[in-house]
């Protein structure tokens, strides 16, 4: 197993030429990682992953591209087979009680015109958006106007949940069907 460390500027992407079949992120937050072989993207991409993420793609890779949204040092381990780290925590560990919140469910309709789905709420502690439609996709965007290009896709029968690092801004949504009235929004 080979351990590699890189320092990133905010928004920087680094192409790292390293051969392997297994990758583990040891240090890093909110990283996007794409896998390549012979300079061809192999179709596998991990998005917004943190330390602890590991992958064993279907085929070996000889390059990975890592994008960091913030300035940080990223440490990864790469090997030709499964490997691992058993890191012992250092320092103090503090356990806190879970955050209790009251919640509410609401039905919403999303159309082919982007509109606000959830209002901004600085006290938000939980969010779940479920697309109960059987054919229509929806896309959501935090703080902007949702499009298929910039939105987070929620496929038919899918859901999107935030239960930590809650985003509190307004959320807009757009659908690929004229009127999708099968959206449930749970906030707390």
- pLDDT tens by residue, 88-147: 556 565 655 555 667 789 999 999 999 999 999 988 888 999 999 999 999 999 989 999
Mean of all residue pLDDT scores within the chain:
87
Q: Give the pLDDT score at 131.
A: 95
Looking only at the bridges linking them, the beta strands covering 127-131 and 179-187 are: antiparallel
Residue 128 included in any domain: yes
Compute CA distances 157 → 10, 126, 130, 137, 183, whole Å: 35, 20, 7, 9, 10
| Residues 183 and 114 occupy one common structural domain | yes
What is the CATH classification number for the domain harbouring 41?
A: 2.60.120.10
| Residues 115 and 183 occupy one common structural domain | yes
Last residue of a domain, one of 27, 46, 79: 79
Q: Degrees (nearest 5) of the Cα angle 65, 3, 83?
A: 100
| Residues 56 and 126 occupy one common structural domain | no
Last residue of a domain, one of 63, 79, 95: 79
Residue 98 included in any domain: no
Residue 96 included in any domain: no
Tokens of 125: 């502690």
Of 10, 12, 6, which is closest to residue 25 (Cα–Cα)? 6
Tokens of 137: 């996709």
Alpha-carbon dihedral 70, 72, 77, 78, rounded to 10 degrees: 50
Q: How many domains does the chain have?
A: 2
Q: What is the mean pLDDT of residues 57-65?
A: 89
pTM: 0.49
Q: What is the mean pLDDT of residues 155-175?
A: 89
Compute CA distances 27 → 64, 88, 134, whole Å: 16, 14, 40
Percent of the chain with pLDDT over 70: 89
Task: For residue 70, give its domain range.
Answer: 2-79
Residue 94 included in any domain: no
Residue 97 included in any domain: no
């Amino acid at each position: 197993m080979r351990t590699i460390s890189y320092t990133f500027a905010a928004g920087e992407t680094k192409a790292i030429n390293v051969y392997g079949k297994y990758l583990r992120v040891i240090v890093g937050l909110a990283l996007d990682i794409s896998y390549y072989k012979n300079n061809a993207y192999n179709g596998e991409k991990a998005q917004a992953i943190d330390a602890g993420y590991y992958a064993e793609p279907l085929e070996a890779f000889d390059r990975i591209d890592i994008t960091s949204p913030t300035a940080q040092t990223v440490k990864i381990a790469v090997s030709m087979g499964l490997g691992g780290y058993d890191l012992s925590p250092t320092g103090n560990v503090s356990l806190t009680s879970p955050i209790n919140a009251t919640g509410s469910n609401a039905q919403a309709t999303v159309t082919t015109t982007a509109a606000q789905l959830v209002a901004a709420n600085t006290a938000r502690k939980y969010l779940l958006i479920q697309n109960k439609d059987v054919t229509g996709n929806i896309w959501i965007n935090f703080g902007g106007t949702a499009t298929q290009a910039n939105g987070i896709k929620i496929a038919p029968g899918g859901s999107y949940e935030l239960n930590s690092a809650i985003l509190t801004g307004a959320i807009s949504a757009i659908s690929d069907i004229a009127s999708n009235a099968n959206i449930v929004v749970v906030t707390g």
